[in-house]
Structure 1
Amino acid sequence: MIKPRGRRIGLIRLSAIGDVCHAVATVQALQRHAPEDDITWIIGRTEAALVSDLPGITFIVFDKKQGLTAFRNVLNEIAEPFDVLLHMQVSLRANILAAVVPAKAKLGFPKHLSKELHGMVVNRRVPMPETPHVLEGFQHFAYALDVPTFAPTWSIPISEADQAWVRERLTAQKPYVVIAPSASNAERNWLVDRYAALANHLQYRGYNVVLTASPAPSEVALAQQITALAGSNIINLAGQTTLKQLLAVVADATLVVAPDSGTAHMAVTQNTPVIGLYAHSNPNRTGPYRFQFLTIDAYQKNLQHLFSNSAKSNKWGVRLKGAHLMEDIALSEVIAKADEVLSEAPNPSDHNS
């Protein structure tokens, strides 16, 4: 049967990992609603490694390291103008890209959620609430294309090879908790001694503890510091996983504990509970979706302390800066929240019975 011709839909969401995870839910809702549409996603090179095998989507990789060549390469892969371009990013680089990508209609964010000349490169603004979670903002792009209201779901392929890689390294009888200690900015990391104490507590409860991180030297070093300080048999996978292998790791975890990071949002796509540790960014905007009720939120307190009654404190999603803000997240808070989640999980001693 010949597939009926639908709309040619382009989508720009280059980065970051967490935002790409949010975007997947919207893209797959579009596919379910109108499977005849052709969707092309322009995406960053790193992020493509996680989702470029999503079925039914054409991916064009934008490699920012190539400079101007990256823009030319994208244009060379677009055979004809899109009917609709969903411009789902407000960074200057993404806005420049949206300006040159040919499309009959270019949909973007409303004024109160825009910056970096976003409004100049779109010809239709998508109505959104004043204070949406990032994922909910993305949903409104689908609603603008007549997709009915939907609850976000995800289906990101994990190969048998990646699942086998995890089984080879995590074959112990006990279930495990993932601690992903690193955020993209080091000041958003929790304290080393508190991570180590949490790991010891989790092991006392009968769980293995798995550390994950990117190959960045600072992230690998942080994981090594936690392992040394904990003095227990932590499984340190920092710097050893591909994004797909990391997805397989969090998919089988009982719980993930992480600051504002891609790993936290990857866990959400696998329906793995996440305790988010937030002091610099608003968890109501960027917290692990579905699991915001588990978040330890030091952001609201710090927002009021730093800005008091200034107008900036009323700007949705304002990021805070400060090397000591994460100190406001107490070890006891995180342990209590972890115990709450684990009390509803199967007993580790019953894992192989």
Structure 2
Amino acid sequence: MSPQATPAGPPARVCILRLSALGDCANVVPAIRTLQAARPDIRISWIVNRAEAALVADLPGVECLIYDKRGGRTAIGALRRQLAGRRFDALLNMHASWRANRISLLVKADRRIGFDARRARDGQRLFVNERIPAIESRHVVDGFLAFAACLGATTPVFDWRVPVAASDREKAAALLGDDARDVLFISPCSSHTMRNWQAERYAAAADYAARRHDLRCVLVGGPSEVEKNMGQAIEQAMQAPVLNLIGATNLKQLLALFEFGRILLTPDSGPAHMANATDIATISLHAATDPRRSGAYRSRALCVDYFAEAAAAYRNATPDTVKWGARIEDDDQVMALIPVEAVTERIDQAVAQGPRE
């Protein structure tokens, strides 16, 4: 299927389909900023899951069409009513899944653009009439930007910022209190639990940061039992004082907290990608996933990369020979391949490079 000729600039009415996950939705924002810079009067509608909409629904110049992934046929019906009688110049199907394929049929659009052959899956090619060109970069951000380029927006805008209310910043400041030390935030959990590092290793890295660099350790995350249990385990294993804010914030307040931080330590997770909107240095931990694809984009030099070791141990392969987009989430020992020393080296590096300009 050969791409159609690209117009001089983006069309007027564009629909983006990317339902989830949190980190992926955060990484769609630069593509939106790129389209808006190329055509300031562009009208963008974004079909997004309800949970992720809490982060992106108030983006300027973007209409979010909320879909509830837990809502079954009722949610499909509600989305169908939102789209009734509407037609777009282009659909950017940035979500390669059977669910997204089904939803894409509700969108009337002249151009229906999907992923290139390497990135596409679940039969997405059958639901589009164009595909982004194959690009050398593996990273999801560059893949999303390729959609904007297909519409003529070829100058990327690397801007992840979303609106944060003054009240959310005030809440973040109140939670942190008056301690003026630089903050090491630890967001220890991913929604994929096999990507989580061990609690005692987080504790060891945090104790090192406190002892060597006088960093204050603050734990952050959502309200799930997995996250709360992880936070308690880290607290119990630490020698230095720690402030546990797991479950204490919504997404915007978490983002506001990152604005006060020096370093974020986290696995491949939504917060790792949300943090691109701030100047915090992000150390993301990768053994289960390939940082070339999903590392924190603005802090890629700080990724801790043990994906090659995991590919060798669990797939008898290399990062270049495992299946595209592979996740090595076989057991809870995958992330144990990452030693504490690899993380403390990155902490030293992040401190040495100073605050991001």
Asked whether the equivalents of residues 160 and 274 of structure 2 are also in contact (C-alpha less than 8 Å), the reply is no
Picking from 206, 213, 230, the partner of 2:238 is: 230
1:62: how far off?
Answer: 0.5
Cα deviation, 1:128-165, whole Å, max 9, x if unaligned, reads: 22552000000000000001232412231111000000
| 2:23 alignment partner in structure 1 | 18
Shift of 1:193: 0.8
Where 1:39 maps in the other structure, the secondary structure is strand
Aligned to 1:328: 337
Equivalent pair of 2:160/2:277 in contact (CA under 8 Å): yes
How far off is 1:266 after superposition? 0.9
How many Å separate the matches in 1 of 2:33 and 2:318?
A: 40
Deviation, structure 1 residue 265: 0.7
Q: How far does residue 330 in structure 1 lie from its aligned partner after superposition?
A: 0.8
**Distance (Å, rounded) in 2 between the aligned partners of 1:232 and 1:116:** 48
- Please state if 1:89 is matched with 2:98: no
Query: What pairs with 1:104-119 in structure 2 (closer than 5 Å)?
Result: 104-119=110-125
Residue 312 of structure 1, CA deviation: 9.0
Answer whether contact 1:255 1:272 (CA < 8 A) is retained.
yes
1:274 to 282, 296, 308: 282
User: Partner residue of 2:353?
Assistant: 344
Normalising by structure 1, report the TM-score.
Answer: 0.93
Specify whether residues 129 and 312 from structure 1 end up closer, same or farther in structure 2 by C-alpha distance, changes over 3 A only: closer
**Paired residue secondary structure (1:343):** helix
In structure 2, what is the Cα distance between the partners aligned to 1:21 and 1:307? 30
Partner amino acid for 2:127?
Answer: V
Asked whether 1:199 is paired with 2:206, we answer yes
Give the conservation status (yes or no) of the 8 Å contact 1:304–1:313.
no
Residue number in structure 2 paired with 1:262: 270
8 A contact 2:308–2:319 mirrored in 1: no
- Partner residue in 1 for 2:299: 291
Q: Shift of the alpha carbon at 1:231?
A: 3.6
CA contact (8 A) 2:312 2:318 kept: no
Q: Deviations over 1:260-286 (max 9, x none)?
A: 001111111213211111001110001
Is the 2:222–2:249 contact (alpha carbons within 8 Å) kept by the matching residues of 1?
yes
SS at the partner of 2:324?
Answer: coil
The answer to whether the aligner puts 1:160 opposite 2:133 as a matched pair is no
Q: Which amino acid aligns with 2:351?
A: L
**For residues 301 and 288 of structure 1, do their structure 2 counterparts lie closer, same or farther at Cα, with a shift above 3 Å needed?**
same
Residue 194 (structure 1) shift: 0.8
- 1:188 aligns to 2:220 (yes or no): no
Mind listing any 5+ residue stretches in structure 2 that lack a counterpart? 1-9
- Write the deviation string for residues 215-255 of structure 1: whole angstroms up to 9, x where unpaired: 11111110011012114321111011100000011122101
SS state at 2:189 partner: coil
Q: Which residue of 1 aligns with 2:72?
A: 67
Q: TM-score, normalised by structure 2?
A: 0.92
Q: Give the fraction of aligned pairs with identical amino acids, expressed as a percent.
A: 33
Who is 2:59 aligned against? 54
**For 2:309, what is the secondary structure of its paired residue?**
helix
Q: In 1, Cα distance between the equivalents of 2:115 and 2:320? A: 20
Q: Amino acid of the residue matched to residue 345 of structure 2?
A: A
Partner of 2:42: 37
Q: Distance in 1 between matches of 2:161 and 2:268?
A: 22
Please say if residues 42 and 62 of structure 1, whose CA atoms lie closer than 8 Å, have aligned partners that are also in contact: yes
Asked if residue 143 in structure 1 is aligned to residue 143 in structure 2, the reply is: no
Give the drift of 1:35: 1.3
- Contact kept, 8 Å, 2:308 with 2:318, in 1: the verdict is no
Q: Which amino acid aligns with 1:250?
A: F
Which structure 1 segments of 5+ residues have no match?
Answer: 347-353
How big is the shift at 1:82?
A: 1.1
Tell me which amino acid in the other structure corresponds to 1:108: G
Distance 1:82 1:118, change over 3 A: same
- 2:349 and 2:283 map into 1 onto residues whose CA distance is 11
Letter in 1 for 2:33: Q
Q: Which amino acid is the alignment partner of residue 169 of structure 2? A: Q
* Residue type of the alignment partner of 1:10: C
Q: 1:332 to 1:309 in 2, by over 3 A?
A: closer
| One of 178, 182, 200 as aligned partner of 1:175 | 182
1:248 aligns to 2:256 (yes or no): yes
**CA separation in 1, counterparts of 2:136 and 2:306?**
22
Q: Tell me, what secondary structure is at the counterpart of 1:100?
A: coil
**Residue number in structure 2 paired with 1:9:** 14
Runs of 4+ more than 4 Å apart = 309-312
What is the root-mean-square deviation of aligned Cα atoms in Å? 1.8
1:81 Cα deviation from its structure 2 partner: 1.2
User: Matched residues in 2 for 1:131 and 1:112: separation?
Assistant: 11
Cα 1:320/1:76, change in 2 over 3 Å: same
